[in-house]
Amino acid sequence: MILDGFRAGDKQAFGEVFDLYFSTLIIFARHIVTDASATEDIVADAFVKLYQMHEEVNTINNIKAFLFISVRNSCLNYLRHQKVKEKHQLEQRHSIQAEENAYEHNENEAHLLKAIYAAVEDLPERRQLIIRMTYIEGLSDNEIADRLTITRATVRQHRCLAIRDIRDIINRLNNTNTLV
């Protein structure tokens, strides 16, 4: 009898149980997991687990139930693992894309800043000075007017003209594709 031999650890009896259920379990597993290699591994693992507990088996129905439950649970675990793996891979792709975007943004920003500084260097001296005092030193219109002994209106006028000139220089650079 197969059951007695199986319980005794007889390899021939185990082979008969294997032959009896292997194909059916493969088909069952493939309905849950589409990866053929994975289903074969899952079914093989179920037989290993079954063999490790061969002394505890009481009936052929216990063997069948154990194998099907074991395969089903392993298939579900495999699918959960795949989902986690896919989520992790997606997160990695998003992270890499975000880093590439940040790098590209920083590179574009660096080019823009370089162009702005070059444009400031091309301004007339008074406009250059007012731009530096405003945006680099952080001085107010009153402080700049006091230092340069000019009116606040003159400070604002020079700053507006300087910004217009900087914008024009940068636009010309963009149009000639030397920026970016």
Residue 83 covered by a domain: yes
What pLDDT was estimated at residue 178? 47
Mean pLDDT, residues 4-33? 92
What pLDDT was estimated at residue 117? 86
Pick the more confident residue, 28 or 3.
28
What pLDDT was estimated at residue 179? 45
Residue 94 covered by a domain: no
CB of 7 closer than 8 Å to CB of 55 = yes
What pLDDT was estimated at residue 102? 82
For residue 153, the enclosing domain spans 122-175
Percent of the chain beyond pLDDT 70? 97
pLDDT over 60 at 169, yes or no: yes
Domain boundary among the residues 89, 114, 140 is at 89
Mean pLDDT, residues 164-175? 82
Residue 85 covered by a domain: yes
- Number of compact structural domains in the chain: 2
- Judge if 85 and 134 occupy the same domain: no
119-149: b (≥16 Cβ within 10 Å) or e: bbeebeeebbbbbebbeeeebebeebbeeee
Residue 127 covered by a domain: yes
What pLDDT was estimated at residue 126? 92
CB of 69 closer than 8 Å to CB of 15 = no
Mean pLDDT, residues 69-74? 96
Confidence of residue 177 (pLDDT cuts 50, 70, 90): low
Residue 112 covered by a domain: no
User: What digits encode the pLDDT tens for the residues 35-53?
Assistant: 999 999 999 999 999 999 8
Mean pLDDT, residues 98-125? 85
Residue 99 covered by a domain: no
What pLDDT was estimated at residue 87? 92
CATH number at residue 161: 1.10.10.10
Residue 171 covered by a domain: yes
CA angle 146, 120, 100 (to 5 degrees): 125
Domain boundary among the residues 89, 104, 130 is at 89
Residue 60 covered by a domain: yes
Give the whole-angstrom CA distance, residue 34 versus residue 41. Answer: 13
User: What digits encode the pLDDT tens for the residues 84-109?
Assistant: 999 998 988 888 888 888 888 888 78
pLDDT over 80 at 25, yes or no: yes
